[in-house]
Structure 1
């Protein structure tokens, strides 16, 4: 009997998930980690405009999540960026939204991620919450038979080893995986594929801190409060200046503030790790990797900073590979390949 393995990484900025596994090809997708609640199912309202979202019923409310969730947005940006976010209904709505988009009715092993600093305290409770039947709306449910929570950068390490054909040689090497996210800056020290717990950690100094600091700089520059964080994010990712008062604003004027925050995050990490010369691999992943690359290189001037293809999905892709390997070792059986 084939077993189905899937992975989800509910981050503060984006929710990443495995959309399908076809043969040896692992396909990833993602959507913003925003969940907008309402008292009634918006998809059944008269005049509802169809968009790329799903509606998840939870605790008497209906949470709309998905790639086009911002079309459902009000003026309040509904994020849950705090240390207990995995216990919030928004987290569960995002997780179930990802399950709904996978289009499978049952998952034998679901692999999920946690920031490094939360792993020891939240692992057991998250695995318990993930297990069982999940109502994904529309009269459908997805049953998760077993869940496994791992440190987010651990997935990136697995993905790196596979992409660079190092699954055997990496067992004799020491690696540092750096994963800048929306809220947290995570790093993981590993010997082979095993986590070195007392040198791995995370700090709340991520991309959102950069965007907020840059917004403050722009506000001071234009003489009025500027709060369009999404416009700054888009500008940084595309290299195109945001338009403010009908004119392009030179975003490079605020970049020194972003670099300062990246340096602060890296400096926090450097206090935890020792003997940087012993790292054979320093791997930079995550959606915010490009904003931290300069600061990381400054901290490790004698190393080559390694990257992976599609760094945004590195963690969840690695989760999937690790989950498939785990099932293969336990049961020596095939894996589901639902599209």
Structure 2
């Protein structure tokens, strides 16, 4: 019987997760990484449609999470995943269990999750998280789920696995040095690998993600309009679509704020260069993450002699890689996996030493 493997990537902006694996196709969903606490579960309104959220009990409170969480009260205070130890918070667990709720499973044999590179380097924290996630969890309304085993992976490592499988280059990647760049909502992560092994001293993350880009533009709009403008989501959509946001009932031209906003990717990449250098020894540079579209130009400017590879649906690249790595690891444990990919999946099997380390141990 095929083991039940699922992947969840609780990011600072969105919680991404795999809902199904059918005929080799991974089906993914996501919702905002916002968890609204309350003393009791939300009661449906009699006069209107219930919002698409679920109440997850954690630590004596009920956290409302899901696609429509922005409709919850005090959502301004629900964005709490803003530090390197965010995976220890009750909100993190509520978001992860919310993802498990939407999977509609009673038992998961292997749960694979991701962490920012800087957080992943804190091994006692990683081990504690894996222990915390294994076991039986309450999902609300009498539902429970049992997780037999949990493994954590550095977030960009998932993208490397997904890239290798999608390009049929797993065996080739094992012989090459790669740089995976992952601009997320709050953090800018990068991972340098030799084959599938992380080179720890050249991999890191800094808090210079898309939130900082949006905040720069938000401050500019506030100054220009003499207001305290706070609509980050509207500005985010405007950047991605090229459409002008509506501010005080009028279309607003953000062009004047973009030169300063573009300094954020430049600053993040400048910090990365302290670790990576000119990347003359790097064969593959892979750009993923929800902020890939805004960081692309600065990354290309930093590495003019390289081809920058991008993946379709970059926001789901990590979680798809987690799922693929988890599936092959589970099959390898049962002796049924593909040998090439099994060798590539060093997750939880390699006890790295020195400068190189596996994606998990």
Q: Do these two structures clear the TM 0.5 threshold for a shared fold by scoring above it? A: yes
162, 165, 175: which is aligned to 2:165?
Answer: 162
Q: Is the 8 A contact 2:13 2:32 kept in 1?
A: yes
- Indicate the SS of the match to 1:26: strand
Instruction: String of CA shifts for 1:33-68, please: whole Å, max 9, x gaps.
Output: 011111121035655741221111122221111111
309, 313, 323: which is aligned to 1:310?
Answer: 313
- Indicate the SS of the match to 1:214: helix
- Indicate the SS of the match to 1:165: coil
Matching residue of 1:337? none
Q: Which has the higher contact order (CA 8 A, sep 6+)?
A: 1
- Tell me by how many angstroms 1:275 deviates: 4.6
- Indicate the SS of the match to 2:2: coil
1:257-336 paired onto structure 2 within 5 Å: 257-333=260-336
Q: Is the 8 A contact 2:120 2:126 kept in 1?
A: yes
91-100 or 273-282, larger mean C-alpha shift:
273-282
Q: Give the length in aligned residue pairs.
A: 334
CA separation in 1, counterparts of 2:136 and 2:307?
A: 45
CA separation in 2, counterparts of 1:96 and 1:333?
A: 29
133, 136, 143: which is aligned to 1:133?
Answer: 136
Calculate the TM-score normalised by the size of structure 2: 0.89
1:1-339 paired onto structure 2 within 5 Å: 1-43=1-43, 49-74=49-74, 76-80=76-80, 81-121=82-122, 122-333=125-336
- Tell me by how many angstroms 1:120 deviates: 2.6
201-210 or 37-46, larger mean C-alpha shift:
37-46
- Tell me by how many angstroms 1:2 deviates: 2.7
Q: Is the 8 A contact 1:36 1:78 kept in 2?
A: yes
CA separation in 2, counterparts of 1:309 and 1:44?
A: 38
- Tell me by how many angstroms 1:105 deviates: 0.5
Where structure 1 has 5 or more consecutive residues not aligned to the other structure, the ranges are 335-339
- Tell me by how many angstroms 1:165 deviates: 1.4
